[in-house]
Structure 1
Amino acid sequence: MKRHVIQTDNAPAAIGTYSQAIQVKDTVYISGQIPLDPKTSEITDDDFEGQVHQVFRNLAAICKAAGGSIDDIVKLNLYLTDLDQFAKLNLVMQEHFKAPFPARAAVEVSALPKGVQVEADAVLVLENV
């Protein structure tokens, strides 16, 4: 099995023992993205909605680097520190994704890296591989 590393400066750099994304054939597995500004490596916003927007911008940048778009995501996993924010999450998601929406899980967790409120990882399938 041949694996291809996907990397872009338009999303936060992978720090540690992981890659931003790995492509195997037409499938790309994107590592968890938190709301870090890729230029400063700082959290972009204390506001929940602002954090979700940055997470989706990071995912979109990695999708583009892989030769696809955020609309090619087929599975999205979302991790929230407060599931009461779920309705806000859905509103922001509608600004970044169009129907048909990806399959999705949303899970409340006790904590996320750097104290952020949201993280997402994804799987996308490229059509022209």
Structure 2
Amino acid sequence: MSKIIRKIVSSSKCPKPSAPYSQAVVADRTVYCSGVIGIELNEPKLVSGGATAQTAKALEHLSNLLQDAGSGIDRVVKTTVLLADMNDYASVNEEYKKVFTKNFPARTCYAVAKLPLGAAVEIEAVAIVGSVQDEAK
């Protein structure tokens, strides 16, 4: 049996982890991205503007991380969205649709009791490395 390569990804275009985890891990041709929140790049401070602005910033960080991992937003197959308040669901979806415009990934969305730094939203993703061919069902 051949070995599967595991690569730890650390992106300078994303906030540094504040706990013992990797920003992303590539295993074979799959990228597993840790959850990202809408914080400033160089300081652990949430962007102002609530859930909408935090979602936009989190998706920007996610896009940068995927790029540095050799993938991209267009190759995401699954996301998990964690919300501090389900009342933000519609505004988060509006920002989400600006980034994921077609062939939407599978997605799960949960309301949680609390997120790091009091964030309104956290998003994690699983994506593919390499070229992807989409097929209609």
Note whether the superposition's TM-score is higher than 0.5.
yes
- More displaced 10-residue stretch of structure 1: 40-49 or 14-23: 40-49
Which 4+ runs in 1 deviate beyond 4 A? none
Tell me, yes or no, if structure 1 residue 69 matches structure 2 residue 36.
no
Q: RMSD over aligned Cα, in angstroms?
A: 1.2
Among 88, 92, 104, the alignment partner of 1:89 is 92
Count how many residue pairs are aligned between Structure 1 and Structure 2. 128
Aligned partner of 1:33 among 27, 36, 44: 36
In terms of mean alpha carbon deviation, does 69-78 or 35-44 score higher? 35-44
Aligned partner (choices 35, 39, 43) of residue 46 of structure 2: 43
Partner residue of 1:79 out of 82, 104, 113:
82
Alignment of 1:124 with 2:127, yes or no, is yes
Structure 2: distance between partners of 1:44 and 1:103? 27
Q: Equivalents in 2 of 1:46, 1:98: separation in Å?
A: 23
Contact 2:70 2:130 in 1 (8 A): no
Q: 1:99 aligns with which of 85, 99, 102?
A: 102
Deviation, 1:70, is 1.1
Determine the structure 1 residue equivalent to 2:22.
19
Find the partner of 2:57 among 54, 57, 67: 54
Structure 2 Cα separation of the partners of residues 14 and 3 of structure 1: 19
Structure 1 residue ranges without an equivalent (≥5): none
**1:72 Cα offset (Å):** 1.1
Q: What is the TM-score when the length of structure 2 is the normalising length? A: 0.88
Higher CA-based Rg: 2
Unaligned runs of 5+ in 2: 132-137
AA in 2 matched with 1:104: R
The one-letter amino acid paired with 2:31 is V
TM-score normalised by L of structure 1:
0.93
- Alpha-carbon distance in structure 1 between the residues aligned to 2:111 and 2:53: 18
